[in-house]
């Protein structure tokens, strides 16, 4: 099994963090009792700029969750199609060879789900197996690749595609002035990404698939932590739940879990030379570095993605993967770890060989 390609797609509306801070001050107006706190929180997330689904001047006109979700459905189709088209093109996999399509999001809902709409838009095979995934949040990019790997293990002559679309800006709550929502307003952003995973049967044909091999995967659930991250859902939409304990949970568990995962596959942490981690935010990345004993820029790709486009929830780790595959590719034979964490609370680990 290999990750044959990864590709991202973004809306055309990109704004600097300074500009977005000014617009948010206007958006909240007199409700914002402490503008200096908002400015400090935005500085602390170390994001330089972000893409948004629609122009900033159109957000104040959104009055209901339904209106926001209608925009989400429209933009999600456009970005999802663009990302998947690019991923298929880069992988040299024909649409007819894709046996399964996984779609993940945590920022909007649709029935039929976006994957069904993509099948119609892109004329994908009518017998493709669909798996829409909702609610995994940031961990879903890694989990989606793992589920795609499960599929091609069972059907090695096929490929599986994962599409992630997250339009976090459409979840912003005007009435919520909690610190969690203020942080969210400066950290999360909009974008999409797609990955193609190929089975061994496709690799043996006359084509070059040079992406990393997936050697093993592991899902880890941390009991009784569901209050740490997620949404409170009401008639107004999605209200962010974001505990300050998340970095501590990562420090306490990630290193141990990675060590156990590696040991079960005959390796240790010193064998890892490459890391692809989701961009959860500065405190999450710092906690990950501490938990894994990383002190020499091993997470530079994640930090760079955070600065450039912010946290894209489930798409984040896929955007980091794309950067590594295109611009930071390790030497052949290098062992690497792809990992993400999210609501549950849970983590997903993939052992890669480049």
Residues known to be catalytic: 138
Residue 279's CB is within 10 A of a number of other CB atoms, namely: 31
Residue 258's CB is within 10 A of a number of other CB atoms, namely: 23
For β-strands 129-134 and 98-105, DSSP reports them as parallel
- 175-205 exposure pattern, b = at least 16 Cβ within 10 A, e = fewer: ebbeeebbbbbbbbbbbbbbbbbbbeebbee
CA separation for the pair 352, 334 (Å, rounded): 8
Under 8 Å between Cβ of 107 and 170: yes
Phi, psi of 195 (to 5 degrees): -135, 140
What is the largest distance, in Å, between two alpha-carbon atoms of the chain?
Answer: 64
């Amino acid at each position: 099994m290999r990750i044959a390609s990864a590709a991202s797609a973004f809306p055309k509306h990109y704004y600097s963090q300074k500009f977005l801070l000014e617009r948010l001050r206007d958006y909240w107006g007199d409700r914002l009792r402490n503008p200096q706190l908002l400015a400090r929180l935005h500085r602390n997330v170390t994001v330089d700029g972000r893409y948004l689904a629609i122009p900033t001047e159109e957000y104040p006109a959104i009055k209901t969750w339904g209106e926001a979700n209608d925009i989400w459905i429209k933009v999600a189709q456009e970005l999802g199609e663009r990302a998947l088209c690019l991923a298929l093109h880069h992988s040299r996999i024909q649409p007819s060879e894709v046996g399964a399509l996984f779609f993940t999001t945590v920022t909007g809902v649709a029935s039929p789900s976006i994957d069904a709409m993509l099948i119609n838009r892109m004329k994908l095979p009518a017998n493709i197996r669909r798996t829409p995934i909702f609610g995994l949040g940031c961990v879903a990019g890694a989990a989606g690749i793992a589920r795609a790997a499960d599929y091609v293990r069972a059907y090695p002559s096929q490929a599986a595609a994962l599409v992630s679309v997250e339009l976090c800006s459409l979840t912003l709550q005007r009435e919520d002035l909690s610190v969690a929502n203020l942080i969210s307003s400066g950290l999360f952003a909009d974008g999409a990404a797609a990955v193609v995973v190929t089975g061994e049967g496709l690799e043996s044909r006359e084509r070059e698939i040079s992406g990393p091999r997936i050697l093993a995967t592991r899902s880890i659930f941390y009991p009784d932590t569901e209050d740490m991250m997620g949404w409170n859902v009401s008639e107004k939409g999605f209200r962010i739940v974001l505990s300050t304990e998340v970095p501590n949970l990562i420090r306490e568990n990630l290193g141990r879990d990675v060590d156990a995962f590696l040991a079960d596959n005959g390796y240790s942490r010193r064998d890892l030379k490459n890391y692809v981690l989701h961009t959860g935010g500065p405190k999450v990345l710092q906690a990950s570095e501490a938990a894994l004993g990383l002190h020499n820029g091993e997470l530079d790709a994640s930090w760079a993605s955070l600065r450039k486009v912010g946290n894209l929830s489930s798409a984040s780790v896929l955007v980091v993967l794309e950067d590594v595959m295109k611009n930071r590719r390790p030497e052949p034979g290098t062992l690497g770890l792809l990992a993400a964490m999210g609501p549950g609370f849970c983590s997903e680990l993939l052992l890669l060989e480049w």
